[in-house]
Amino acid sequence: MDFIIEFKALAMKVETDNLHAIFLLKKNVQAYIIKTILGYPLMAAPNTLKEWKVAITAVEQGYKSTKSQHD
């Protein structure tokens, strides 16, 4: 979650457009998160920057909750 906040601040600072921001997210977020999101059905796949940020956060939180249940 902190990553998304920092990413948003940096993207605003450098005035990147949404398509480039999505590209940067895909390249810099942990691979398992991106693979999970790309595995979504086409209708559920994120399209906008906001949808990508929500999906990344959801996958990350799901992973953390699953991990804590096994510990």
Q: Long-range pairs for 31-34 at CB < 8 Å and ≥24 separation? A: 32/63, 33/59, 33/60, 33/63
Angle at 52 between CA 23 and CA 13, to 5 degrees: 60
Average pLDDT over residues 24-33: 91
Question: What is the average pLDDT value for the chain, to the nearest integer?
Answer: 85
**pLDDT tens, 29-61?**
999 999 999 999 999 999 999 999 999 999 988
